[in-house]
Structure 1
Amino acid sequence: MTDPETTTALDGCSVVTMDAQRREHSTGHVVITGNRITQVGAGRAPEGLPDARYVDASGCLATPGLINTHHHLYQWVTRGMAADDTLFGWLTTLYPVWAGIDADIVETAATGSLTWLARTGCTTTTDHHYVFPQTGGDVFAAEVEAAARVGLRFHPCRGSMDLGRSRGGLPPDNIVEDRDAVLTATQAAIDRHHDPAPDSMLRVAVAPCSPFSVTGDLLVEAAELARHNGVLMHTHLAETTDEDTFCREHFGCTPVEYVDRLGWLGDDVWLAHGIHLDDSAVRRLGDTRTGVAHCPTSNARLGAGICRSRDLRDAGARVGLGVDGAASNESNSLWEEIHHAVLFARARGGPGALSVRDALEMATIGGAEVLGRQGEIGSLEPGKLADVALWRLDGLGHVDIVDPVAALALGAQPPLELLLVNGRAVVERNRVTTVDEAEVARRVATASTKLLSRAGVNR
């Protein structure tokens, strides 16, 4: 817990606030008391703050903590498999392996993934968990426990699949659930875990997996359940051309048209990927203020394509960045999504397609908007929650890059001098402080070997 009386002053750093005016300070300060930011401004921090810890932040850049809008934490223990496959081939290979997960494996995988996310500047992360083996125990609670241990702000999404292979879907029948069981379990997850308070560390969303693994009936009833409970809705959409073909063959329309007629667009919905969108789909997402989690690294790893992030932003859609699962993005780095968002947008649309500040915006206040928390996190402003990343830029890799935001977005990943989540130090001098990284690594290796052995896969 954060001591409400503790004050920390980050003194002498460059500051990118991401406030409404997008103010920046070449030399500035950020003051945190308890779990709230109390001062942000130019120049050195005020002297004589009572009982304050002054952090010499010269040579550093302070940004809002990064916000990860799409992930699959359990995949951390199945990295490196189907390394050269497309999405559907990759899923076909991995579904039988994931069928063997249990609560212990998920807790270990989530701890490993969350720990590494923290090392890459992430202070808030979502997770889309949709594999629930009947004998696996409470895997959803396991990842909630892991997030609390590591100390990240957490938005787990209770996912689901009810369209197995025997009914025309992609997943094998032994890992799909009955629709009534899904709805009962989803309501139970909300009742047990969701915290709507303004300073919440834990909020739950409703998240049927995808058009090719979920029936239309489940999508409709899940939306009704989510809106009845006042929680957000999340699903995969328009990730591959295979998905587009599937929707046209089975539903006679595009993926966006399909979810639109089922009530799955709006400012309480965000979609993962959103790559294969025509102009009318981009306009519809913008008109409805639907959110999109842009996952450039995973999309490139699977050869899925490049999201039209510039067009979506210009149309009015809320766009954040996502790491996606570690089995399709082995680096598991939210910083890398900033880097790749810039490069891939420019590879597609030219040097003006996305600025370095656009990419940082998507990773911070953009992600907060996707999660409906722009009033609490995503920028450095007095009154907001103290989720802050302090990046060291005075080493050899960055010291001569004249623009600190360009140094962050275009250079190598900088060391993290400090990462505060809700005012609590989770990373100091590029090491996670809340867990023993070496012990987590040992546990991950054991869990991975155990899971792969269950599936008959040799390491």
Structure 2
Amino acid sequence: MTVKVIENAHVVTVSGAEHPRGHVVIDGDRITAVGAGGAPAAEGAERIDGRGCLVTPGLINTHHHLYQWASQGLAKDNTLFEWLVALYKPWSKMDAEVVRGAASAGLGWLLRSGCTTSTDHHYVFPRGRGDLFAAEIEAAAELGVRFHPCRGSMDRGRSDGGLPPDEVVEDLDTILAETEAAIDRYHDPSPGSMLRVAVAPCSPFSVSRDLLERSAELARSKGVRLHTHLCETLDEDRHCREQFGMSPVDYMESLEWLGEDVWFAHAVHLQDADIKKMAQSGTGAAHCPSSNARLGAGIARVADMLAAGVPVGLGVDGAASAEMVPLAGEVRQAMYMQRARYGPDALTARQALEMATLGGARCLGRQDELGSLEPGKLADIAIWRVDGFYAAIDDPVTAFAYGGTPPLARLLVGGRTVVRDDELVTVPQDEVARRGADAHRRLMTLAKEVL
């Protein structure tokens, strides 16, 4: 891999320094220099002219459900619980072909919005439908995104007091065996890893106490991270208090589910004591503002979490609850929703950008490698065009965060170009889009008997 030099750009390191006319030097998959002014000489280097461009770390998506690309546009006016009840039915019919196509389209869309690292939380495993977890991993490898798939699970169907129908849950022993097998097969803890696995029981209303406890034991014995949905809606809060006699955060604390190796999706309905516990334990939160708005779940207390020291990243969430939402757009959405609730100084553009980069890296435990532009870190870099119409705004970060997302001039993952001039280069963009549409049509055909 050749040396690359990005020069003459507005470079935002996120770690503190900002260079209005700066440079970034890349050797292999690592950043070797970042600074102001002209780049140092590098014989034989590929030189990327960044005039009119903003350079940021690649964005990090801390919560997603890629399979849901195939079920967009359904249950459009429902609460979370109503939406889930409606969609469990078609999801029960998905197969590996659906997941592969949906993951290709979902990850391609993320790459085109500046995302270089994405998680995925896959928790629906209908029996006899192929290897769904492998299907999304294959899609990520083909597209060239850094991937953190979370092996999800549900073991509390309706007959056990849970929300999902019994046909989409697995038994405890199967879940633990399959999760351990996924870690052993796929998890790569090495520096610069493109693939790391997390353990991710779905939610307090769809999994048992035993599954949560044993999942935590498994994850910590294997040295991987823990993820789940928590405090997304008031319905969930009532469910926990009625069934467990305590708040969702207190319940998770009782099961040893707080810690630096844990991050929760959504965390909308937190009390002051919850935020304090998360901050003290280092537990992270994936903020998904568009999905929370689409489902009417509420506005998370992001400003309060950041002030307390909680690691907060951004997440798109599933495409079925945030149709066609780009990750870069969540920077603006997060900023505006905090301001709508708390006032115009609640969250700045640079704070929102930090959530999308270094905050996400903290949630995934990769802040030493990702999330900022510093020598020694991985060369996951987004180059945004802020000239043309955007040049009417003097501050490039304001141009990026406040309006429509600027076009991508280049997106690098480990120094490798994966998007150029807003077009995927690893896989033909039209092909990726077609796979997503085909996945939707296939799922709707498979689901006809239950819709």
User: Which one-letter code corresponds to 1:294 in the other structure?
Assistant: H
Deviation at residue 30 of structure 1 after TM alignment? 0.7
The partner residue of 1:182 within 175, 190, 194 is: 175
Quote the offset at 1:52 in angstroms.
0.5
In the other structure, the counterpart of 2:134 is: 141
Where 1:320 maps in the other structure, the secondary structure is: strand
What whole-Å deviation, never above 9, does each CA across 1:21-72 have from its counterpart, x for those lacking one? x10011101111110111111012224x121111111000000000000000
**2:409 pairs with 404, 417, 422, which one?**
417
* Maintained 8 Å contact 1:73/1:109: yes
Match of 2:356 among 356, 360, 363: 363
C-alpha distance in 2, partners of 1:442/1:423?
28
Residue by residue over 1:278-311, the C-alpha shift from the partner in whole angstroms, topping out at 9 and shown as x without a partner, is 1111111111110000000100010000110111
Alignment correspondent of 1:28: 22
Question: Deviation of residue 457 (structure 1)?
Answer: 7.7
Instruction: Give how far 1:331 is off.
Output: 1.9
Match of 1:44, as an amino acid? G
2:441 equivalent to 1:441: no
Match of 1:13 among 1, 9, 14: 9
In the other structure, the counterpart of 2:49 is 56
Number of equivalenced pairs: 451
Q: Distance in 2 between matches of 1:381 and 1:265?
A: 30
CA distance in 2 between counterparts of 1:276 and 1:193 reads: 34
- 1:384 equivalent among 358, 374, 377: 377
Unpaired stretches in structure 1, ≥5 consecutive residues: none
Aligned-partner Cα distance in 1 for 2:100–2:43:
40
How many angstroms apart in 1 are the aligned matches of 2:438 and 2:101? 9
1:46 aligns with 2:40: yes
Residues 203-256 of structure 1: per-residue CA shift (max 9 Å, x gap): 000000000000011000000000000100000000000000100110011111
**TM-score normalised per structure 1:** 0.97
Q: Distance in 2 between matches of 1:458 and 1:250?
A: 30
Superposition RMSD in Å: 1.1
SS in 2 for 1:418: strand
Out of 124, 128, 131, the position equivalent to 2:117 is: 124
Report the CA distance between 1:356 and its aligned residue.
0.6
* Kept after mapping to 2: 8 A contact 1:113/1:332: no
Counterpart amino acid of 1:170? L
Report the Cα offset of residue 446 of structure 1. 2.0
1:291 partner amino acid: G
Measure how far apart 1:458 and its partner are: 11
Q: Which runs of 4+ in 1 moved over 3 A?
A: none
Matched residues in 2 for 1:144 and 1:353: separation? 38
Distance in 2 between residues matched to 1:163 and 1:395, nearest whole Å: 54
Distance 1:27 1:331 in 2: 34
Q: Which residue of structure 2 aligns with residue 232 of structure 1?
A: 225
Match of 1:416, as an amino acid? L
Q: Trace 1:1-400 onto structure 2 (pairs within 5 A).
A: 3=1, 6-19=2-15, 22-47=16-41, 49-396=42-389, 398-400=390-392
